[in-house]
Amino acid sequence: MKKFFYIFILLLIVGWAQAQQRVVYTINDGWKFTKGSPFEAQLAGCDDSSWETVNIPHTWNDKDADDETPGFYRGPAWYRKQLFVDKSQEGRQAVIYFEGANQEVQCYLNGQFVGEHKGGYTRFCFDITSHLRYGQENLFAIYVNNVYNPNIPPLSADFTFFGGIYRDVYLQFMNPVHIATNDYASSGVYIRTPEVNNSAASVEITTLLTNNTLQPAEIRVENIICDADGREVKKTHAEVKLASGETKTDISKKIKIDSPRLWDIDDPYRYMVYTRILDKKKGALLDEVVNPLGLRWFKFDSEKGFFLNGKGRKLIGTARHQDYFQKGNALRDELHVQDVLLLKEMGGNFLRVSHYPQDPVIMEMCDKLGIVTSVEIPVVNAVTETEEFLQNSVEMAKEMVRQDFNRPSVMIWGYMNEIFLRRPYTEGKQLENYYRFTEKVARALEATIREEDPSRYTMMAYHNMPQYYEDAHLTEIPMIQGWNLYQGWYEPDINEFQRLLDRAHKVYKGKVLMVTEYGPGVDPRLHSYQSERFDFSQEYGLVYHKHYLREMMKRPFIAGSSLWNLNDFYSESRVDAVPHVNNKGVVGLDREKKDAYWFYKTALSRRPILVIGNREWKSRGGVVNTAQKECIQSVPVFSNAEEVELFVNNKSLGKKKVEDNYALFDVPFVGGENLLEAVAVASGHKLRDMLRIQFQLVGSQLKDEAVPFTEINVMLGSPRYFEDRSANVAWIPEQEYKPGSWGFVGGTSYRRKTGFGSMLGSDIDIHGTDMNPVFQTQRVGIKSFKADVPDGEYSVYLYWAELESDKEREALVYNLGADSEQTFAGNRSFGISINGTTVSDDFNVARDYGYARAVIKKFVITVKDGKGLSVDFHKKEGEPILNAIRIYRNY
């Protein structure tokens, strides 16, 4: 009797387990991790007790990709985890599923190899059924490397290749008879919508079914389409017989939905498709997979642009990189989610998911928020002329398409970004062969994607060397041409942008055109009222974006654009105003909004908006320039109201008309705290915004008692303002000395030559500081810096960095066209005296500190007899320099 009872219970458990639905959970926490290749790390015998303990998402490069030492760890590493798996899932199919790991993975379970994967940005999974032990500890050992592999794209790119298991990892348990998990880590269900219009839609659902039992299985496949409220709209079913071990396709054709509610940018309505398989006889549910269904139709027209559900829509949005301040690419879901919310809030309706497929939550968010997307594989900069490279690229394309196949937001599949940026040859037979091979890869990718998914468009992004792409026929292959254009940034003439658009329109008649990239670098710590390209100021950022948006809006044949980039991102080898960071984001690495973000939000959003710009600039400074002892500086106020009024310290500055999405006010700042208050009325709504700013007022006459002297912080050779955010110090531009006042005597501003003209200062990384901009400009040939300060004791800090070196001549990889014609001027020596006392007669920055290293010397000086302060430079060899000066009154 007792025995019987147990058998009954056992049957119950087995039966229950059989009929149970999928169980999916993450196994992210508490992994042992080490770099390198310890002996037999996949085996239990390997002692991992001294390894670090980490949580996934994890990257091993979050710190070394952001430190001063060039390079970051690109090598092998291991993750290990002892995981107790209870008996609740015993007898079921077990799968380990990775959302992404960079870039080559080998997975072992209990000492046995279970699978491997190449490519850092697509999802993959392995069946572990035969290796898993229930009711016991299991040793998961995962080898990952991010070593350069000539056969795995990307070979090179302007972003850091953070290594690691940097997205979620899961265990999945399901019935041995289940919806297939082994088709490029897709959902096993492919939903097509061959016809959609306002009155009806037809849906076709393909399901891959697997029987991993030793018996044949007879099952019922159901597809239930529900509306967003969960009400059943349509249901289909079919009966399928599966032989033991068989994987089979079931296709439910032409499911008709009348009067569909469409998926649109403003109303991203989604149906849900529940794909279920049931035991034919017992009716028990064996497996279920849920997919979103968006009913929409769209087209791109080479003259009129993009149409969604019959309506013309200009696509405006951004590209996005998947990293974050101090975290590298290892982000929890919430941080991904936040980015799509930021884009939506900005009024964007398009996301170029570039340069690689991203976390599934990014795609989910785009589906949910009505953001049209283009997803691409990371074939960037160059190809390797091998079949293996070609094959790996094709595999990636398949993974991409199958994994995000059911997303209503996806309308474009992309491949190849600026593939001729790093051509290994520049002429002759080798170049010709290289072109031919690249064309072959392009044609293979195009064919693969079109075969996999004829319902979407294909796109390729080019840089401004049309001739290369034409020579290799690459401009002909994809359905959409994406142009990455940086006129007014890498190239000097901003107006060349619209000329290039018109050229493309003319030359590539019939091709759909998009601007897949454009953008200037902006460091929100920098401001300038004489802004120019490469100065990284907020102000130049605005000039640039205003121009580009205006020119694209004028041209209906530009179907859309994705500015570069939503966020600042890490690029180890790059030096912008912030080392290792590409500063072209409209939000920062920490997602701080820059003025350009507010500009787009005002231009694109239909909600009433009023935002005082320069919001982040909380410690400002400047020189008295009114009789009332104030400093007038302009402040943009972003609004879609017709006019705005600004109050400063409770006094109205009057109303101003808004042009180009903002009104520029001349704001008289007083020393200390200032309160700005903007008011406006937009579409009947009263709007108000406030901002408090600390202002460091500097007298124009330093002995003027109405503006007592406390300190000045001056960047030489520079019209820029810089905010030292850690210490709330306001750096201001240089000026020429006039008696009673302060400033430089003699010399010129340092400008670095680039392939197309020159840039203010330098963009080399300055070691030993996190205030690059303070050191990146300088006055060359300076004779003196004078300040007619009142008597007292002062700390005088002199700032130097040698900007000239042989190294500097090596063209910076990403600053297209940086040239090499400068002569070496870094070998310089000069004397320094302060108020007539020699402090050095042979000061040589390069000799004593090397190139590009921040040097700060502090002198304590007593000023007497009303003589003020004079720092004098005495030329010995080469030209004397000074990068910045801080004069601080002690007493």
- One symbol per residue from 579 to 618: x for binding ligand GCB (CB under 6 A), - otherwise; what is it? ---x-x----------------------------------
Residues 670-689 that bind Ca ion (CB under 5 A): none
Distance (Å) of CA 636 to CA 224, 420, 587, 596, 598: 53, 40, 17, 11, 10
Helix residue spans in 618-705 (DSSP H): none
Out of Ca ion, ligand GCB, none, which partner does residue 491 contact, by CB within 5 to 8 A per kind?
none
Across the beta sheet with 610-612, the strand order is 610-612, 631-639, 662-669
Question: DSSP 3-state assignment of 656?
Answer: strand
Closer CB to Ca ion, 328 or 466, in the complex: 328
**Shortest distance, CB of residue 121 to Ca ion, whole angstroms?**
13
Closer CB to ligand GCB, 157 or 512, in the complex: 157
Closer CB to ligand GCB, 145 or 516, in the complex: 516
Question: DSSP 3-state assignment of 433?
Answer: helix
**Shortest distance, CB of residue 417 to ligand GCB, whole angstroms?**
5
When asked if residue 404 is in the footprint of Ca ion (CB under 5 A), the reply is no
Q: Which of 48, 62, 158, 535 binds ligand GCB (CB under 6 A)?
A: 158
Out of ligand GCB, Ca ion, none, which partner does residue 418 contact, by CB within 5 to 8 A per kind?
ligand GCB
N-terminal to C-terminal alpha carbon distance within the chain: 99
- Binding window for Ca ion (CB under 5 A); candidates: 21-29, 37-45, 164-172, 586-594: 164-172
Q: Tell me how crowded residue 360 is: count the other CB atoms within 10 A of its CB.
A: 18
Residues 79, 56: Cα–Cα separation, whole Å? 10
Which DSSP symbol is given to 789? P
Distance (Å) of CA 189 to CA 25, 94, 168, 193, 312: 20, 19, 22, 13, 31
**Shortest distance, CB of residue 513 to ligand GCB, whole angstroms?**
16
Closest CA to 678 of 704, 641, 717: 641
- How many residues does this entry show for the chain? 891
- The string over 769-785, giving b where at least 16 C-beta atoms fall within 10 Å of a residue's C-beta and e elsewhere, is bebbbbbbbbbbebbbb
When asked if residue 168 is in the footprint of Ca ion (CB under 5 A), the reply is yes
When asked if residue 352 is in the footprint of ligand GCB (CB under 6 A), the reply is no
Q: Answer for the pair 179, 150: CB distance below 8 angstroms, yes or no.
A: no
8 backbone dihedrals φ, ψ, rounded to 5°: -60, -45
When asked if residue 567 is in the footprint of ligand GCB (CB under 6 A), the reply is no
Which position's Cβ is nearest ligand GCB? 158
Q: Which of 269, 557, 756, 814 binds ligand GCB (CB under 6 A)?
A: 814
Closer CB to Ca ion, 359 or 399, in the complex: 359
- Which residue is associated with the tokens 């028990």? 284
Positive or negative torsion for Cα 715, 720, 725, 728: positive
Residues 417-456 that bind ligand GCB (CB under 6 A): 417-418
Out of Ca ion, ligand GCB, none, which partner does residue 250 contact, by CB within 5 to 8 A per kind?
none
**Shortest distance, CB of residue 137 to ligand GCB, whole angstroms?**
44
- One symbol per residue from 382 to 421: x for binding ligand GCB (CB under 6 A), - otherwise; what is it? -----------------------------------xx---
Helix residue spans in 524-654 (DSSP H): 538-553, 595-604
**Shortest distance, CB of residue 125 to Ca ion, whole angstroms?**
14
Q: Answer for the pair 730, 620: CB distance below 8 angstroms, yes or no.
A: yes
Closer CB to Ca ion, 104 or 359, in the complex: 359
When asked if residue 359 is in the footprint of Ca ion (CB under 5 A), the reply is yes
Residues 26, 406: Cα–Cα separation, whole Å? 23
Residues 120, 97: Cα–Cα separation, whole Å? 14
Distance (Å) of CA 757 to CA 760, 813, 821: 10, 17, 12
- One symbol per residue from 312 to 351: x for binding Ca ion (CB under 5 A), - otherwise; what is it? ---------------------x------------------
When asked if residue 576 is in the footprint of ligand GCB (CB under 6 A), the reply is no
Closer CB to Ca ion, 166 or 184, in the complex: 166
Q: Answer for the pair 482, 466: CB distance below 8 angstroms, yes or no.
A: no
Q: Which of 33, 73, 324, 564 binds ligand GCB (CB under 6 A)?
A: 564
When asked if residue 373 is in the footprint of ligand GCB (CB under 6 A), the reply is no
Between strands 837-843 and 480-484, the pairing is unpaired
Q: Answer for the pair 157, 355: CB distance below 8 angstroms, yes or no.
A: yes
303: its two tokens: 């003259």
**Shortest distance, CB of residue 400 to Ca ion, whole angstroms?**
17
When asked if residue 532 is in the footprint of ligand GCB (CB under 6 A), the reply is no
Residues 478-497 that bind ligand GCB (CB under 6 A): 484
Closer CB to Ca ion, 131 or 167, in the complex: 167
When asked if residue 645 is in the footprint of ligand GCB (CB under 6 A), the reply is no
**Shortest distance, CB of residue 440 to ligand GCB, whole angstroms?**
22
Question: DSSP 3-state assignment of 538?
Answer: helix
Out of ligand GCB, Ca ion, none, which partner does residue 168 contact, by CB within 5 to 8 A per kind?
Ca ion
**Shortest distance, CB of residue 404 to Ca ion, whole angstroms?**
14
Q: Which helix (H) or strand (E) holds 501?
A: helix 496-507
Residue count, binding to ligand GCB (CB under 6 A): 11
**Shortest distance, CB of residue 770 to ligand GCB, whole angstroms?**
21
Closest CA to 527 of 619, 649, 431, 653: 619
Q: Answer for the pair 678, 610: CB distance below 8 angstroms, yes or no.
A: yes
Q: Which residues bind Ca ion (CB under 5 A)?
A: 167-168, 333, 359
Q: Which residues bind ligand GCB (CB under 6 A)?
A: 157-158, 417-418, 463, 484, 517, 564, 582, 584, 814
